[in-house]
Amino acid sequence: MEISYFLGANAADGFVSLYDGFCRGEGDYLRIVKGGPGTGKSGFMRAIGREAARRAMDVEYVRCSGDPASLDGVYLPALGLGWCDGTAPHAAEPGIFGVNSDYVNLGQFCRTPLSPADRERARALTAAYKQKYGRAYALLAAAESAERAFFPQESGAKEAARAGAALCELVARLTAGEKPRLRRRFCGAVSCEGIVEDRSCLELCKLVYLCEDGCGLAAGALHEACEAALSRGHDAVLCLSPFDGRTPDALILSDVSAAFVRAKPQSAYENVRRIPLDRLWGDMAAVKERRRAVRAARREGARYVHAGCETLREAKALHDELEAVYRPYMDFAALDALTAKEIARVFS
C-alpha cells in the first residue's frame, strides 16, 4: 500500500508546517536529510520508497506543497523509519540525536564554495523566488479576507450544534477503538500546479461520509467528531484545509477504515454516504439563500487564490533555475553510492 499527503501548506498566514508530528511516534526513528538546492534530497527519499514498495511494504510519501511532484519525506510504518527534508521552510532538528533521530548530509557531495559568478546567480535567484513566495502569501491572505467579508455573518449556533451532534452520533455507531492517537495532515495543497487534492488516504477507507457544506457547517462538525473519536479510542487523522492551515477538511479513522469528508465544489467521490448537514439550517428557502451567499464568498476568494497559484508557479520556475546552478557542482556518483548504502542498511 502506498499513500501520499502533505505536511506543509502555503496558506494565508504564510507557510504552515505539520512536520513536528512526522515520524515522532513511540519507536520511530527519523533521519533528517540536509543539503542545498539541487543536491538530490527528493530523489534520495524516492529511491528508498521505491525499494520498500518493491518489497511489498507500506509506504507513506510526503509531497512538497510548493512542488507536488517533489518529495519532502517518506515513512515506512513497518520499520518505524522516516526521512524528511530538513531545510527551510520546514527546517527540522533531531529530538535526541542518535536515540530517535539523526542527519543525512547530502551537501557533502556538493563542491563548495561556488564560483564568483554562480554565487551572484544563486543570491539573485534565492532572493527572487523568496519574493515570489511573499507575494503568493499576500494574495492568499487577500483571498481569506475577501471570503470572510462576503461570508454570511449569521453564526447559526443551533444549526452548528446539531451538525456536530449528527457526526458524533455516527462516530458512536462505529466499533470503539483501543488506543487513541491524533495525527494532522493536509490532503491537498495550494501549489504551482494550482489547487491539488490528494485522496490516496481517503480512497483506502471502506466507509466515507460526505458532509454537505453549502451552508458552512461541516468544518465545526468535523472538529467535534474528531474529539468524539479520540474519546472512543480511535486512531484519528485530522486533515486540515491547505487554504488556512486550520479548518478541518476531513477526519479519517484508520482503525475502522472510515472517513468524514467536507464536501467542496471541486470534490467528487463515489460510493459514499451523503450527510445532508445543510438541511439542519431550516426550511429549504433559507438553505438556498445561505448557499448562494456562501458560494459568492468563496468565488470572491477564489480569484486571489488563482493569482496566488500563478505566483507560486513563477517561484517554482525560479527555484528550478537555482537548482540548475548547483547541479554541476554535485558528485552524483557519490550520491548514488550513498543511496545504495542506505537502502542496503535499511533492508538488510
pLDDT tens digit sequence for 113-132: 999 999 999 999 999 999 99
- pLDDT reported for residue 286: 77
CA distance 49 to 59: 6
**One domain, residues 172 and 66:** no
Please say if the pLDDT value at position 271 is more than 80: no
Please report which confidence band the pLDDT of residue 65 belongs to, taking 50, 70 and 90 as the band edges. very high
- pLDDT reported for residue 263: 79
CA distance 272 to 257: 13
**One domain, residues 192 and 285:** yes
Please say if the pLDDT value at position 312 is more than 60: yes
The answer to whether the pTM exceeds 0.85 is yes
| CA dist list (Å): 175 to 65, 171, 235 | 35, 9, 12
The mean pLDDT value for 57-86 works out to 96
**One domain, residues 87 and 181:** no
**One domain, residues 307 and 342:** no
**One domain, residues 168 and 45:** no
- pLDDT reported for residue 278: 83
CA distance 197 to 5: 9
Q: Which range is least confidently modeled, 63-77, 147-161, 180-194?
A: 147-161
**One domain, residues 205 and 311:** yes
**One domain, residues 291 and 340:** no
- pLDDT reported for residue 270: 65
Name the more confident of 142 and 204: 142
Query: Taking a C-beta distance cutoff of 8 angstroms, is the pair 147, 300 a contact?
Result: yes
Q: Which range is least confidently modeled, 67-81, 122-136, 164-178, 262-276?
A: 262-276
**One domain, residues 82 and 143:** no
Q: Which range is least confidently modeled, 21-25, 79-83, 271-275?
A: 271-275
Please say if the pLDDT value at position 46 is more than 90: yes
**One domain, residues 186 and 283:** yes
**One domain, residues 134 and 198:** yes
- pLDDT reported for residue 22: 94
CA distance 10 to 308: 9
Q: Calculate Rg over the CA atoms of the chain.
A: 22
The mean pLDDT value for 294-311 works out to 92
- pLDDT reported for residue 39: 95
- pLDDT reported for residue 154: 65
Please say if the pLDDT value at position 74 is more than 80: yes
Please report which confidence band the pLDDT of residue 193 belongs to, taking 50, 70 and 90 as the band edges. very high
Name the more confident of 279 and 320: 320
In the chain, the percentage of residues whose pLDDT exceeds 90 is 74
Query: Beta 181-186 vs 101-105: how paired, if at all?
Result: unpaired
- pLDDT reported for residue 82: 98
**One domain, residues 51 and 130:** no
Please say if the pLDDT value at position 273 is more than 60: yes
- pLDDT reported for residue 217: 87
Total structural domains within the chain: 2
Range of the domain at 106: 2-110+330-347
Mean of all residue pLDDT scores within the chain? 92
- pLDDT reported for residue 156: 73
Please say if the pLDDT value at position 137 is more than 80: yes
Please say if the pLDDT value at position 267 is more than 90: no
In the chain, the percentage of residues whose pLDDT exceeds 70 is 97
Please say if the pLDDT value at position 24 is more than 70: yes
| DSSP per-residue codes, 239-286 | EEPTTTS-SEEEEEEGGGTEEEEE--TT---SS-EEE-GGGGGSSHHH
Please say if the pLDDT value at position 283 is more than 80: no
The H-assigned helical ranges of the chain are 41-54, 116-150, 157-173, 200-203, 218-231, 284-326, 332-347
CA distance 253 to 177: 9
- pLDDT reported for residue 109: 97
First to last CA, the chain: 21
Please report which confidence band the pLDDT of residue 269 belongs to, taking 50, 70 and 90 as the band edges. low
**One domain, residues 133 and 81:** no
Please say if the pLDDT value at position 266 is more than 80: no
